[in-house]
Amino acid sequence: MTTRVISEAAIACIRAEAENRCGYCLTPQRYAMQVLEIEHLTPRAAGGSDEEENLWLACRLCNNAKGVKTDGDDPVNRPARSTLQSTNTEVAPALLLK
C-alpha cells in the first residue's frame, strides 16, 4: 500500500476553512473526543485524490459513518445531496449518510 502525505500547510488551510469544526455535524474540535480528521469527500477507494479540493475535516464518528459514500440526506433541506457540495464556501449542514 502506498503511503500518502498531506502537507501540514494543506491541513492548516482545511482546518481554517472548516473553522476547526466537523464538516458534517459541526462539532468544534474542543468538544470532539478525538482530533478531527482530514477526510476525502470522494474516497480514495472511489478514485478520490489527495488534492485540497477533495479534503475536508470530520470527526471520527462522521468520517466512519460516511465511509466510501459520496452522498446522503440533508435533514434541513431534505433532498439527497452530494457531500462534494460541502467544500469551499460554507461548512456543510449535517448529512444523514445513507
CATH of the domain at 54: 1.10.30
What cell was used for 81?
A: 445531496
Average predicted confidence (pLDDT) for the chain:
80
pTM (two decimals): 0.68
Check if the beta carbon of residue 7 is closer than 8 Å to that of residue 34. no
Check if the beta carbon of residue 55 is closer than 8 Å to that of residue 40. yes
Instruction: Please check whether residue 3 lies inside any domain of the structure.
Output: no
pLDDT at 84: 53
CA 43/CA 49 separation, integer angstroms: 8
Chain segment 45-56, per-residue pLDDT in tens: 899 999 999 999
Instruction: Please check whether residue 2 lies inside any domain of the structure.
Output: no
Instruction: Please check whether residue 66 lies inside any domain of the structure.
Output: yes
Chain segment 36-80, per-residue pLDDT in tens: 999 999 999 899 999 999 999 999 999 998 888 887 666 666 555
